[in-house]
A and B are shown apart, each in its own frame.
Chain A
Amino acid sequence: MSTESAMLAQQFDDAAQQREASALGMWTFLATEALFFGVLFAGYTVCRVRFPAAFAAGSRHTDMLLGTIETAVLLTSSCAVALALRDVQLGGRRVAAWLLVLTAALGLSFLVMHGFEYYSEYREGLIPGIRYTQQGPLAGPMQLFFCLYYFITGFHSLHVGIGVILLLVMARRTWRARFSAQYYTPLELSALYWHLVDIVWIFVYPLIYLVGRAG
């Protein structure tokens, strides 16, 4: 009995049908995630269209270097998880497990870096509703920028956190040979989820860190 036939749920006729169903289900879920975050991006667009100067000023308060490093970290982690999946598909186990641990570690380091960002923003008094000490004509609408910044990065970090846990579970399961070249659906779905988290950040980066940097 291969792992594959043991993993076939009763409602399916064969493994191909099961795999196809899981993939479609995950992609549909990812579409809902895109719309979930999309509301924040829509709010961002509307507010920025109305207060371009305040958004530029707000963005200049963020840490562009750290933001860039965080982006690089997430992009690299995406590649790592894709390679882990590839390894399992080719029958590997140890390398895949370590790649998954690496991915999770990169995710964790992302969260730590973000924590530092939040802390220094707290000290600068840039957190509306908690500690906001900015003055001047742009201080009002700049709060909109910072609200959006915390909502977007907050929800994103939540997803990163869930992703890290998921990846560690997958690493453990991979290590214990729960997956094989024939059956790896949970791993594949977790990887898709992680890529989505990455994609969200790909848009967060320019919208939060790169506005009004020139001049």
Chain B
Amino acid sequence: MNSIESAVPPPRSYLDDGHSLRSWLFTHDHKRIAILYALAITFFFFLGGFAAMLIRLELITPAGDLLTADAYNKAFTFHGVVMVWFFLIPSIPATLGNFLLPMMIGARDMAFPRLNLFSWYLYMIGGLFTLAMLVLGGVDTGWTFYTPFSTMFSNGHVMLTVVGVFVVGFSSILTGINFIVTTHSMRAPGMTWMRLPLFVWAMYAVALVMVLATPVLAMTLSLIALERIFGVGIFDPALGGDPVLFQHFFWFYSHPAVYIMVLPAMGVVSELITAGARKRIFGYRFMVWAIVGISVVGFLVWGHHMFVAGQSMYASMVFSILSFIIAVPSAIKVFNWTATLYKGRIDFNAPMLYALGFVGLFMLGGMTGIFLAATALDVSLHDTYFVVAHFHYIMVGGSVMAYLGGIHFWWPKVTGRLYSQAWARFAAILMFFGFNLTFFPQYLLGYEGMPRRYHEYLPQFQVLNILSSAGASILAVSYLLPLVYLGWSLRHGPRAGPNPWRAKGLEWLTDSPPPTHNFEVTPVVNEGPYAYEDA
């Protein structure tokens, strides 16, 4: 058993350590910073969701009646930019990661608490630029900023957007540096690498990706900005420059970025499944190597976004093969989660339902990724709704489900309160159905050839589009529900106690909510993670 020896009365919880606004805005406590992040990304999630509602409303009819072509372009661009950089990339790392990483390794705080707070401020500054872009009239390049449109032709607020994303990029670089250093140098005595919970491994791997990919995005965005200011640049075809070069740089960041969005989700789900099945994770070492493998190989496949962009066919062949290979570690993880569930005493509580939802939807999204990685098939599927469905299965079906699962799992730890299981289960199930109704029709639409990013479409696509929009409204309800019952639990929920799930892991050894410095005595670790009795 992991142990903490203590006799003194428990110190104040981090929530009671000052109630003024100042005590929040200038805090160095990783747990409070996590909450600041949670509030901010929730705001951006619903803002981005509002843009999505506009898109789905427009697509109910084949004619472009609700939004003009221009307004539609701005809606999907805003949706993409906000959801990718202001919600999904920071989602799990900046909230659950910030809160849990030090606790899971038995540390008092991050290695660089001030840097941690600074990264939140950077996030907020980037967010302000993005809001300014919205208020002043939006931008129409798509979240991918492809040149030469973004540099030469678009008359939206490209500069504001690019600056916003640049700044928020540095926020994620700083978070990444903090995570890497914290994992290396702040582990409690006895917490060896092979005793780290998989969530910590996932945070470490994602930090590596943030640190190694984001600078490339930052410079690429700077190049766009400079090209817009001076009217010349290396992506300018008139000078002999190469727009495809932009795509290389962009996807060198953005493919790894999709793993920034999904690796943390895998970490969360590994925790939820072991705790919910009351079993040791199956194949811990395989899981670790799969995480590390994904984060490394994830850097070698970016060209699969450029099969029809004028990339050389030899490069396409190599990128295609490497993309098939990267599915292997993902598959290993799915098998191991399934094997962990096998013969487990599964408690179908809300976190578990979210986790199961993740596994199923991630699998569908990943498998269609393989379709797209086949060059011949991609020629007809590229830039259709099939791609849209593919990445929404992983990013929304997978990562958002896992994020909410994690929130439900650690809510008692974060707030000290229990919420209504019945409502939470209902929301999880509703989300699963709403999600599939929204996005499964999009696979079919894409397969039949409906292109993405247009505000009009051929009449024969209407039925499936109506289904999709109907699903989206269910999805919206299921996202609003947790606000209600989790918010309610803050005042009226029963006290949680240190370990309501009887889960393993250092974070459950301390009080809920934890004291400011997490542990009264630094814990000593003498066994691996997930030491469930009936394992």
Q: Do chains A and B touch in the complex (CB under 8 A)?
A: yes
CB-CB under 8 A for A128 and B232, given A11-B110, A24-B180: yes
For the complex, is B112 an interface residue (Cβ under 8 Å from A)?
yes
B239/A144 in contact, CB under 8 A: yes
Contact partner of B242 (CB less than 8 A), chosen from A11, A25, A46, is: A46
Contact partner of B245 (CB less than 8 A), chosen from A21, A43, A129, A155, is: A43
- Nearest chain-B residue to A51 (Cβ)? B240
Partner-binding segment picked from A34-42, A73-81, A116-124: A34-42
- For A132-148 the 0/1 string (1 means CB < 8 A from B) is 00000000110110011
Complex Cα gap A51–B241 (Å): 10
- Nearest chain-A residue to B226 (Cβ)? A151
Complex Cα gap A151–B216 (Å): 14
Q: Which residues of B contact A9 (CB under 8 A)?
A: 113
A151/B223 in contact, CB under 8 A: yes
Distance in angstroms from B207 CB to nearest chain A CB is: 9
B234/A147 in contact, CB under 8 A: yes
Contact partner of A141 (CB less than 8 A), chosen from B223, B240, B245, B517, is: B240
- Nearest chain-B residue to A141 (Cβ)? B240
For the complex, is A31 an interface residue (Cβ under 8 Å from B)?
yes
B186/A21 in contact, CB under 8 A: yes
Complex Cα gap A140–B239 (Å): 5
- For A17-35 the 0/1 string (1 means CB < 8 A from B) is 1001100110011011101
B108/A28 in contact, CB under 8 A: no
Q: Which residues of B contact A144 (CB under 8 A)?
A: 234, 239-241
Complex Cα gap A40–B222 (Å): 10
Complex Cα gap A21–B517 (Å): 19
- Nearest chain-A residue to B177 (Cβ)? A28
Q: Which residues of A contact B212 (CB under 8 A)?
A: 31-32, 35
For the complex, is B231 an interface residue (Cβ under 8 Å from A)?
yes
CB-CB under 8 A for A11 and B177, given A129-B232, A148-B234: no
For the complex, is B219 an interface residue (Cβ under 8 Å from A)?
yes
- Nearest chain-A residue to B245 (Cβ)? A46
For the complex, is B148 an interface residue (Cβ under 8 Å from A)?
no
CB-CB under 8 A for A43 and B223, given A50-B240, A129-B231, A144-B240: yes
For the complex, is B109 an interface residue (Cβ under 8 Å from A)?
yes
- For A146-167 the 0/1 string (1 means CB < 8 A from B) is 0110010001000000000000
Distance in angstroms from A63 CB to nearest chain B CB is: 22
Complex Cα gap A24–B179 (Å): 11
Contact partner of A39 (CB less than 8 A), chosen from B109, B113, B231, B249, is: B249
Interface size on B, residues (CB 8 A): 43
B232/A143 in contact, CB under 8 A: yes
For the complex, is A2 an interface residue (Cβ under 8 Å from B)?
no
Q: Which residues of A contact B180 (CB under 8 A)?
A: 24-25, 28
* Residues of B207-229 whose CB lies within 8 A of A: 211-212, 214-216, 218-220, 222-223, 226
For the complex, is A65 an interface residue (Cβ under 8 Å from B)?
no
Interface size on A, residues (CB 8 A): 38
- For B223-257 the 0/1 string (1 means CB < 8 A from A) is 10010001111100011111001001100000000
Contact partner of A25 (CB less than 8 A), chosen from B107, B111, B232, B517, is: B111
Q: Which residues of B contact A47 (CB under 8 A)?
A: 234, 240-242
* Residues of B33-58 whose CB lies within 8 A of A: none
B181/A24 in contact, CB under 8 A: yes
- Nearest chain-A residue to B246 (Cβ)? A43
For the complex, is B173 an interface residue (Cβ under 8 Å from A)?
yes
For the complex, is B6 an interface residue (Cβ under 8 Å from A)?
no
Q: Which residues of A contact B249 (CB under 8 A)?
A: 39, 42-43
A21/B111 in contact, CB under 8 A: yes
Q: Which residues of B contact A155 (CB under 8 A)?
A: 222
Q: Which residues of A contact B111 (CB under 8 A)?
A: 11-12, 21, 25
Q: Which residues of B contact A21 (CB under 8 A)?
A: 111-112, 181, 184-186
Complex Cα gap A26–B170 (Å): 15
Contact partner of B232 (CB less than 8 A), chosen from A10, A31, A43, A147, is: A147
Complex Cα gap A33–B233 (Å): 21
- Residues of B at the A interface (CB closer than 8 Å) are 107-113, 115, 173, 176-178, 180-181, 184-186, 211-212, 214-216, 218-220, 222-223, 226, 230-234, 238-242, 245, 248-249, 517, 522
Q: Can you list 6 residue pairs at the A/B interface with Cβ under 8 Å?
A: A10-B517, A17-B186, A21-B185, A24-B180, A32-B214, A47-B234
7 closest residue pairs by CB, A with B: A129-B230, A39-B219, A11-B109, A36-B215, A35-B215, A129-B232, A128-B232
**A25-B181, A39-B219 provided; 20 other pairs, C-beta below 8 A?**
A11-B109, A11-B111, A20-B185, A21-B181, A24-B184, A25-B180, A29-B177, A35-B212, A36-B216, A36-B219, A38-B216, A39-B215, A46-B245, A50-B240, A50-B242, A51-B240, A128-B230, A128-B232, A141-B239, A147-B239
- Residues of A at the B interface (CB closer than 8 Å) are 9-13, 17, 20-21, 24-25, 28-29, 31-33, 35-40, 42-43, 46-47, 50-51, 128-130, 140-141, 143-144, 147-148, 151, 155
